[in-house]
Amino acid sequence: MRILVNVDTFAPLGGVELSTLQVCRELAARGHEIDVLYKDSGGLRDQWESFARHLEQVRGFTVPAARPWQATVLPRSVRAGVRTAPDIVYLNRSEQLLWGAATSAFAGAPLVCHLRHHPFSAPAVRVLKNAARRYIAVSEFIRSEWIEAGISPDRIEVIHNGVDPSAYPCATPADRSRLRAALGIAPEARVFLHYGRLTSDKGAAALLGAWGRAQVPEHWRLVLAGDADPDISAMIGDLRRSDVIVLPRREQVTELLA
């Protein structure tokens, strides 16, 4: 089967980029041909090139729901997708449903949309609710939100994100001690870890607010790893506490999980 997938960026910005890569790599391993349209290049490109049949750069896929007149970015991206003659269009960002629907229609190939986030716009969802043949939700909660937004329940199946156990080996006591020593954390401390984007929609504001209000025991430590937006940076600065450790974003988190 020839599968067309679109990718905003080859940079490892977060879970969507990594999960899309992993899913498509496994589809290729099962014998499917993967054609990729992308907007921006980045550090994961060589991994895509190792299994994809064809990669082509386009102008973009997203039309802001509040500015539909910006749909002029889509025609070339749609034509590029149609030229690959796909058997199926696999969309990984629901806010790009308009591109997916148009490409699916002109290519005569069914659309499958992976629902990884909350509904982007209830009115737009109601208009495009039949655009995809099937929807894949990453959790029951996400499924329920999209059903509430207007998608028929029989179109949405829950498939939880997979984890390759070999990529996350269990830490040894020596690993744990070494990293704690490097971060200045005592062996007996209880550590709370948040890694990923430090933004309100990822729960960072709720976490920091709770930490600031709680009577935190002396041996507790909060470790934050990731890029913080201005609001979260301000909250971190307001705390000014030695029990909060802030680290830069990193691609490999296995040491932190130790």
pLDDT of the residue at 66:
58
User: Which structure tokens are listed for 204?
Assistant: 């960072």
Helices (H) and strands (E) in the chain, counts: 10, 10
**13 has pLDDT over 80:** no
Supply the pTM of this predicted model. 0.80
Q: Which of 108, 25, 104, 116 is nearest to 61 (CA)?
A: 104
Q: Token digits for 71?
A: 């749909």
- According to DSSP, the residues that pair with 175 across neighbouring strands are none
Count the Cβ atoms, other than its own, within 10 Å of residue 234.
Answer: 11
Helical H segments across the chain, by residue range: 15-29, 45-49, 74-83, 97-107, 122-128, 140-149, 173-183, 204-213, 230-239, 254-257
pLDDT band at 49 (very low <50, low <70, confident <90, very high): very high
The CATH topology of domain 167-257 is Rossmann fold (3.40.50)
As annotated, the residues of the chain forming the CATH 3.40.50.2000 domain(s) are: 2-158, 167-257
CB 20 within 8 A of CB 53: no
pLDDT value at residue 64: 64
Q: What pLDDT was estimated at residue 109?
A: 97
Give Cα separations from 127 to 11, 38, 112, 149 (angstroms): 31, 26, 17, 11
In this model, does residue 69 exceed pLDDT 70? no
Determine the straight-line distance between the first and last CA of the chain, rounded to whole angstroms.
40
Q: Are 68 and 127 in contact (CB under 8 A)?
A: no
Query: Where does the pLDDT of residue 242 fall: very low under 50, low under 70, confident under 90, or very high at 90 and above?
Result: confident
Q: Pick one of 3.30.930.10, 3.40.50.2000, 3.40.50.261, 2.40.128.630 as the CATH number of 2-158.
A: 3.40.50.2000
Q: Which residue has the tokens 């988190």?
A: 253
